[in-house]
Amino acid sequence: MVAANYSPEYLAESRVALVNVFFSIPIPIEVLSTVFRLWVKTRLSPQRRLAFDDYFIVWATITAVAVCIAGLICGVSGGLGRHMEALPTEVIETFLLVDYIFSHFYDFAIASTKLSVLALYYRIFAATKFRILVIATAVCVVIWLIVMEIILGLGCQPVQGWWNAGAAATATCVDKLAFTYSTNIINLIFDMWIFTMPIPIILGLQASMEKKIGLCFLFSMGLGTCAISAARLSVVISVRSKDITWSEASLGILSAWEPCGNILCANLPLVYRPLARGIQQIRSTMKISRPRSHDLGARPSSSYHDWTRLNNSTLSNYATSKVTATRGNSTELVMIGRTGITVERDFKQEVHHE
């Protein structure tokens, strides 16, 4: 079909502005979220050092940003969001080449985020059987990533068949639709499995049901990204469209937001406390009419897990008439040996000197 067969209105239709906006927004969200996590770990954490889960999330953020940049290139110079009939052949080939590169970055972004979450599980949950399960799941994720990369690398012979029209005419390629469907289905299954793994252990903790529900909600927030994966699965059929530059706009946008959602959910368990306390401090400073005397006995604010422990040695230099301790609402997962975890509450200690 040639462009002359279509109306000027049809050929002028464009989703490029929409593509550029929705590929741009995840970039600052991903970067700021991960930078805040690293700041919390290196400045506010008692250990003040990074762990394997932090390195994985840094790599996931880099590749997720690369996904968005590739999408922006598709929108600016590759014709994503335009009808193919309105584009010259060289622009279509640019789109297909960048889309091929986009797929590699997408694979590494979603796999790295899963490995970051699993590394976090391994670090904070000390139960031996659970750790074995975490390692087995991580091995499956790595195998899945390797298989996807092999198919992308060898799925077309020659490899230029993925993007070059001349090479595609004689190339032998895998069924791209079947490959994309299988990739998305396995990805969705992994997400559902990984983000529900800690729930049985959390429900077995010696804690109130309220705290258990809160921890389950915190660690299963990633299930929300399954909705993005499911939505992406519903538009996968666009890879076989004859007007691929137009129909793949929705698929590309969802592919950019999926790793963004995963990164946010992977960072949340480590930043929610300082984030919540920061918001609380901002609110308190806005209450100008609040009497200052109310704050005299308050515990100094902290940006991280600052647990006040009762310790008699700290009181040996003072004569005291009364020591009271009030249980707070904060909890923290703490490793005990190699057999399990405990939930530690914070206390507010008041000492009245004579």
Block means of pLDDT (10 residues each) for the chain, length 354 residues? 70 88 94 92 79 92 94 85 87 88 92 93 88 96 94 86 77 84 89 89 81 81 80 76 85 90 88 75 65 47 37 37 47 46 48 48
Each domain of the chain, given as residue ranges in start order, spans 3-272, 305-353
pTM here is: 0.75
Evaluate the CA torsion angle 169, 144, 197, 335 in order and state its sign. negative
**Which of these, 228, 225, 255, 224, lies nearest to 239 by C-alpha position?**
255
Cα angle 140, 117, 35 (rounded to 5 degrees) comes to 135
3-state DSSP assignment of residue 341: strand
| Residue 92 tokens, joined | 């279509």
3-state DSSP assignment of residue 326: strand
3-state DSSP assignment of residue 44: helix
DSSP 223: G
Name residue, tokens 């604010």: 301
Residue at 190: amino acid letter? F
CA distances from 84 to 31, 93, 320 (A): 33, 11, 82
| Residue 79 tokens, joined | 């014709």
Look at residue 205 in the predicted model and tell me its pLDDT. 78
Alpha carbon distance, N-terminus to C-terminus of the chain: 94
Fold of 3-272: Rhopdopsin 7-helix transmembrane proteins (1.20.1070)
Look at residue 318 in the predicted model and tell me its pLDDT. 36
CB 266, CB 57: distance < 8 Å: yes
**Which of these, 206, 162, 174, 169, lies nearest to 342 by C-alpha position?**
206
- Neighbour-count burial of 316, counting CB atoms closer than 10 A to its CB (0-12 exposed, 13-18 middle, 19+ buried): exposed
Helices (H), 207-303: 209-219, 225-234, 244-286
Query: Cβ neighbours of residue 118 under 8 Å, at least 6 residues apart?
Result: 134, 137, 138, 141, 194
| Residue 72 tokens, joined | 């922006």
Q: Which helix (H) or strand (E) holds 145?
A: helix 128-154
Phi/psi at 347 (5° precision)? -125, 150
Q: Are strands 156-157 and 172-173 parallel, antiparallel or unpaired?
A: antiparallel
Phi/psi at 309 (5° precision)? -105, 145
Measured CA to CA, the distance from residue 272 to residue 119 in angstroms comes to: 18
